[in-house]
């Protein structure tokens, strides 16, 4: 198994300028002592908030920071990720949300877990639903009360309904899909670049990660879940949806998803 000394971090974005301004320096600091070589690839799905101007500033001051624009192409999270992975210079890639919900320090823990595993060609998953992990609104795992979670979410740009629906859907997917991974919709991953390209990132905004992880499981790639506490969105609003009706519309396809992908040939 190749040693993880170099890492390409792919950040798919759509109108996350304010979050990127904070996240990119934090990633650079958190990983500066964890890997010998680092690059951060921001793949922009036609933002309108000045993201490109910000990235030009970052790129001028740090050659490790790269920018890919998808202006003129159909907006697609899995296509953005795929483009970033194909452009990566290093053998190992990571991807995560750019809204501040996935702490850079947690990515460093994923790197450590990758190095610690003796499995061949593993897929490391940042997980909210294994012991030690927590979902949005949780301050201290095992200590934050339900009502405190509700209050924390009410004062944020995140939706309590989205958090509840995510937990229910992930539990459902875990049971139906061979209990291969508790956080199948994680979107917080480290793997070998060749593995990602071979398995592919296909589907829609919400289901691409479920497809990828289940296919990894079926093709004997060990999945290692590393707990992390998902943070509240720092700036802006979620692309998942903010109303209960919108969330339900996005969630209904997940009910049929396991039955579709279980019979997909690896």
Lowest-confidence segment of 32-36, 80-84, 243-247, 251-255 by average pLDDT: 243-247
- What does the pLDDT read at residue 239? 57
pLDDT in tens, 179-213: 999 999 999 999 999 999 999 999 887 789 999 99
Categorise residue 97: left if φ over 0, alpha if ψ from -120 to 50, beta otherwise: beta
- What is the pLDDT averaged over residues 108-137? 92
Kindly list the structural domains of the chain, giving each domain's residue range(s) and its CATH number in brackets, ordered by start: 6-262 (3.90.550.10)
Report the share of the chain in percent with pLDDT over 90: 63
pLDDT in tens, 221-242: 999 999 999 988 888 766 555 5
Q: Is the pLDDT of residue 266 over 60?
A: no
Nearest residue to 211 via CA among 242, 246, 181, 245: 181
Beta bridge partners of 65: 40
- What does the pLDDT read at residue 151? 73
- What is the pLDDT averaged over residues 60-66? 94
Q: How far apart are CA 9 and CA 87, in angstroms?
A: 11
Alpha helix stretches (DSSP H) within the chain:
17-31, 51-61, 77-87, 104-116, 146-154, 160-176, 193-199, 208-218, 244-262
Q: Strand, coil or helix: what is 65? A: strand
Q: How far apart are CA 256 and CA 6, in angstroms?
A: 38
Averaged pLDDT of the chain: 87
Q: How far apart are CA 18 and CA 16, in angstroms?
A: 6
pLDDT in tens, 151-167: 766 766 666 667 777 78
**Reported confidence tier of residue 149, pLDDT bands at 50, 70, 90:** low
């Amino acid at each position: 198994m190749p040693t993880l000394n170099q890492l390409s971090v792919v950040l798919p974005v759509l109108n996350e300028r304010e979050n990127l301004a904070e996240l990119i320096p934090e990633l650079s600091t958190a990983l500066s002592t964890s890997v010998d070589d680092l690059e951060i690839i921001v793949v922009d799905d036609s933002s309108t908030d000045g993201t490109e101007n910000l990235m030009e500033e970052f790129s001028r001051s740090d050659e490790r920071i790269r920018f890919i624009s998808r202006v003129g192409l159909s907006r697609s999270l899995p296509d953005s990720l795929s483009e970033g992975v194909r452009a990566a210079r290093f053998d190992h890639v990571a991807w995560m949300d750019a809204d501040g919900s996935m702490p850079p320090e947690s990515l460093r823990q994923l790197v450590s877990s990758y190095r610690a595993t003796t499995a061949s060609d593993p897929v490391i998953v940042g997980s909210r639903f294994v012991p030690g992990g927590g979902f949005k609104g949780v301050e201290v795992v095992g200590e934050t009360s339900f009502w405190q979670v509700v209050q924390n979410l009410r004062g944020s740009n995140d939706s309590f309904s989205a958090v509840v629906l995510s937990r229910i859907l992930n539990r459902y997917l875990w049971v139906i899909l061979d209990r291969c991974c508790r956080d199948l919709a994680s979107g917080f991953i480290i793997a070998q670049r060749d593995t990602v390209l071979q398995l592919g990132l296909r589907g829609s905004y919400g289901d691409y990660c479920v497809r990828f992880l289940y296919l990894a499981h079926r093709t004997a790639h060990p999945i290692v879940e590393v707990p992390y506490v998902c943070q509240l969105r720092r700036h802006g609003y979620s692309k998942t949806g903010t109303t209960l009706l919108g969330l339900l519309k996005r969630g209904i396809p997940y009910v049929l998803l396991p039955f579709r992908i279980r019979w997909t040939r690896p």
